[in-house]
Amino acid sequence: MLLELALAPAKKDIRKLPVEELKAFLVAHGEKPFRAKQITEWLWKNTAASFEAMNNLSLATRELLAAHFVINGVTVQSEQLSNDGTLKSAFRLHDGNIVEGVLIPHDQRMTACISSQVGCSLTCKFCATGYMDRKRNLDAAEIYDQVVRIREQCERQYGTPLTNIVYMGMGEPLLNYANVAESVRRITAVDGLNMAARRITISTAGIAKMIKKLADDDLKTNLALSLHAPTDAKRNEIMPINEANSLAALKDALQYYHEKTTRKVTYEYIVFENFNDGLDDAAELYKITKWLPCKVNLIEYNPIENANYKNAEDDKITAFHKFLFDRGVQTNIRRSRGKDIDAACGQLAVKQ
């Protein structure tokens, strides 16, 4: 008996099955092909966590699905609520891996910050996730499920709908492009979560060729570049990915992106004390803002155990902001949320 179990093939996650394959499977087992549409709606629109929940299917159909497939859902292992209302979750995946996601309440927005990889391979020196090994990519359904879980938390905690999504959690989204793109399609689909693509932002540390791929596919999402330094020399120091994706390469990719999509790009810029906080740095950043229509978010640095960087002084950040603003650059100062529970930008890391 144990040998039989060991030799039995693992059941496939039904959400990885293209609808035409699902339809063919159903027909081969004596079911009507329209059942595929019903099942797809249960999985993506109604976010069913089990076949048993699909109560407009016959018991025999549900048992057939359960015999051949699984639904590898994402569950909330733990939650932490910040003093400012930010809610961080540890999400358990079907294989026991953990990723983190964050619900960020702010004014009229409720934003889900979600992860795309277990760990990260980019080793950015200021980011806690960068000190973790990248174990694997998340599949589209696992990314999707994070949004579903955070949407549930939003409605429970605040009694209001989720409004925005940012792919700014653990991992580099453009190094898991296929699954990220598929998750966006599912999230925005009428038979999915039906959220507007303009409410979704994909953030990248700067993978030039994949920025062009994103432009070609035109998912209609927003794009944010984690810039954090205005010269190659400084960017190489804190973001090793820049050595293979120089500012010149990123300029070319971003201009291509804008030409294809006509959308602005957001530059995310953490202001580090005595590293990139001078007016000479602001002048270099101003040159970058001339590449294409853009806006700049100046971000507080959030300390982590493995790095010795410090947040710039308030007067330095204010002067930096004024330099750009006075020259017509749309510039915002972003204050950190959830810092007390390690949920702020750059702080996500699974602590075993």
CATH of the domain at 321: 3.20.20.70
In a domain, 262, yes or no: yes
Two tokens, residue 160? 């209001």
Domain boundary among 50, 70, 90: 70
Measure the CA–CA gap between 224 and 202, rounded to whole angstroms.
6
Which residues lie below 8 Å from residue 300, measured CB to CB, with a gap of 6+?
Answer: 270, 271, 311, 317, 334, 335, 336, 344, 345
Predicted pLDDT of residue 341: 54
Q: Are residues 169 and 48 in the same domain?
A: no
Helix (H, G, I), strand (E, B) or coil at 61: helix
For residue 349, the model assigns a pLDDT of 54
350 lies in some domain: no
Looking at the fold, whether 58 and 141 belong to one and the same domain comes out as no
Q: Which pLDDT score, from 0 to 100, does residue 9 have?
A: 66
Nearest CA-CA partner of 176 in 137, 215, 142, 119: 137
Residue 317 in domain = yes
Tell me the sheet residues that pair with 151. Answer: none
- Residues 189 and 89 reside in one and the same domain: yes
Same-domain pairing of 249 and 112: yes
User: How does 303-321 read in b/e, with b if 16+ C-beta sit within 10 Å?
Assistant: bbeebebebbeeebbeebb
- Tally of structural domains, the chain: 2
Structural domain harbouring 40: 11-70
Residues 153 and 166 in one domain: yes
Q: Are residues 148 and 268 in the same domain?
A: yes
Tokens standing for residue 68: 């051949």
Rounded Cα distance between 98 and 156, Å, is 23
Residues 16 and 101 in one domain: no
Domain of residue 45, CATH code: 1.10.150.530
Vertex 149 angle, CA 146 and 151, to 5°: 105
Residues of the chain with pLDDT under 70: 1-9, 336-352
> Which segments of the chain are extended strands (E)?
12-13, 69-70, 75-81, 87-92, 98-106, 109-113, 117-118, 136-137, 164-167, 200-204, 222-226, 265-270, 294-299, 330-334
Query: Do residues 335 and 266 share a domain?
Result: yes
Mark whether 52 and 88 lie in a shared domain. no
Is 104 a member of any domain?
yes
> So which residues are the catalytic ones?
100, 345
Residue 306: CA count within 13 A, CB half-sphere:
14
pTM passes above 0.85: yes
